[in-house]
């Protein structure tokens, strides 16, 4: 009886897993199609803006397997048109400093908020929380004005700097550090350790899962950003790949799937790498991704 129950559960899970994985499988199989085949199947998407009423009555031809396997899209993406690779590197050069900076700043701030006792600590943390709770669109105008005043517009640092000092990391790591008993710190203090030594030798190794969780959440968040680059960066050559992918229906259908694969690869690899820590980290901090 139990075996049947298990088989049924496995079958149900397999169906759900298949449904969830299907977009990735379709993206991959479509990335090895020729440009003509893509145009033939999805050409309609490129004309949505011009013929809404006509397209409302029609559907694209979603195809799982290509008629002709070709690496034309990848060749276009990686060799023939350097625009896409440049955009990929733009994404990398924005996301890596944000993650490194925010993890460092957030870990130190979280240490202060959770382990140091000073006046107004709770109030200050509440202010931090408020900035986190505000939707991005609310802080957009002040952010834009500040970037303009500092002369950062149309420069990646207009996105990197607000990213480094965002409050989410502080919140997440503080929750994590609250679980670390204060006794460790007291013991270290008795041994003559300063705050930096305590942070580096005691807190940092203990919050590794939290940092892994934070890294993956930040990566997903900033790797997929669209509004910030669209508003802060005028120059199309400075924009990340996410902006291009969000406007994929405006022509250039031919490389859409290959670009998606290229875009997805670092995220999947990073997730697989930090997955064991990530799950532990999210469980311990009580935050859902």
Partner 1 sequence: MGSEGQVAATEKKRQRTIVILFGLFIGLLMFCTLFSNTLESLTLPKVVTEKALLGSLDYKLEAVVSCGLCPK
Please report, as ranges, the residues that interact with partner 1 according to CB under 8 A: 78-80, 82, 85-86, 88-89, 262, 265-266, 269-270, 272-273, 276
User: At closest approach, how far in Å is the CB of 239 from partner 1?
Assistant: 17
Do 186 and 245 meet the contact criterion of CB atoms below 8 Å apart?
no
Place of tokens 């680059």: 229
Place of tokens 């397997």: 65
Nearest to partner 1 of 68, 272 (CB atom): 272
**Cβ neighbours for 239, distance < 8 A, ≥ 6 positions apart:** 87, 90, 229, 230, 233
Of 136, 161, 156, 279, the closest CA to residue 217 belongs to 279
Nearest to partner 1 of 34, 55 (CB atom): 34
Q: Alpha carbon of 96 to those of 103, 118, 248, 266, 288: distances in Å?
A: 11, 33, 25, 12, 23
CA dist 264 and 24 (Å) reads 9
User: At closest approach, how far in Å is the CB of 213 from partner 1?
Assistant: 16
User: At closest approach, how far in Å is the CB of 198 from partner 1?
Assistant: 28
Nearest to partner 1 of 16, 89 (CB atom): 89
Nearest to partner 1 of 156, 162 (CB atom): 156
User: At closest approach, how far in Å is the CB of 149 from partner 1?
Assistant: 34
Q: At what angle do helices 256-285 and 168-177 cross, to 10 degrees?
A: 40
Of 225, 213, 192, the closest CA to residue 110 belongs to 213
User: At closest approach, how far in Å is the CB of 274 from partner 1?
Assistant: 9
Nearest to partner 1 of 32, 166 (CB atom): 32
User: At closest approach, how far in Å is the CB of 265 from partner 1?
Assistant: 6
Nearest to partner 1 of 145, 272 (CB atom): 272
Q: CA dihedral defined by 60, 61, 67, 69, rounded to 10 degrees?
A: 40
CA dist 27 and 13 (Å) reads 22
Residue 226 DSSP symbol: -
Of 198, 212, 204, the closest CA to residue 284 belongs to 212
Nearest to partner 1 of 196, 269 (CB atom): 269
CA dist 254 and 73 (Å) reads 7
Place of tokens 């939707």: 135
Nearest to partner 1 of 161, 259 (CB atom): 259
User: At closest approach, how far in Å is the CB of 81 from partner 1?
Assistant: 9
CA dist 131 and 133 (Å) reads 6
User: At closest approach, how far in Å is the CB of 257 from partner 1?
Assistant: 17
């Amino acid at each position: 009886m139990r075996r049947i129950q298990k088989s049924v559960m496995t079958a149900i899970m397999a169906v759900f897993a298949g449904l969830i994985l299907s977009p990735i499988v379709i993206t991959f199989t479509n990335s090895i199609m020729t440009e003509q085949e893509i145009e033939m199947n999805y050409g309609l998407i490129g004309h949505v803006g011009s013929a809404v009423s006509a397209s409302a009555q029609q559907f694209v031809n979603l195809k799982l397997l290509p008629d002709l396997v070709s690496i034309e899209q990848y060749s276009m993406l990686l060799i023939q048109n350097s625009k896409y690779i440049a955009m990929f590197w733009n994404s990398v050069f924005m996301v890596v400093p944000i993650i490194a900076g925010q993890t460092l700043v957030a870990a130190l701030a979280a240490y202060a908020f959770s382990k140091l006792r000073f006046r107004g600590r709770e109030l200050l943390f509440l202010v931090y929380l408020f900035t986190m709770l505000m939707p991005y669109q609310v802080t957009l105008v002040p952010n834009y004005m500040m970037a303009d005043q500092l002369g950062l517009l149309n420069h990646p640092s207009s996105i990197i700097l607000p990213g480094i000092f965002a409050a989410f990391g502080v919140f997440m790591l503080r929750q994590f550090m609250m679980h670390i008993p204060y006794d460790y710190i007291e013991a270290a203090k008795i041994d003559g350790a300063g705050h930096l030594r305590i942070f580096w030798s005691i807190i940092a190794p203990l919050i590794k899962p939290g940092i892994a969780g934070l890294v993956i959440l930040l990566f997903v968040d900033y790797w997929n950003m669209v509004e910030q680059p669209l508003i802060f960066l005028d120059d199309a050559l400075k924009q990340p790949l996410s902006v291009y992918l969000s406007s994929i229906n405006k022509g250039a259908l031919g490389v859409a799937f290959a670009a998606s694969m290229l875009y997805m690869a670092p995220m999947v690899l990073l997730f697989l790498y930090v997955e064991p820590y990530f799950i532990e980290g999210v469980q311990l901090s009580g935050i859902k991704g």
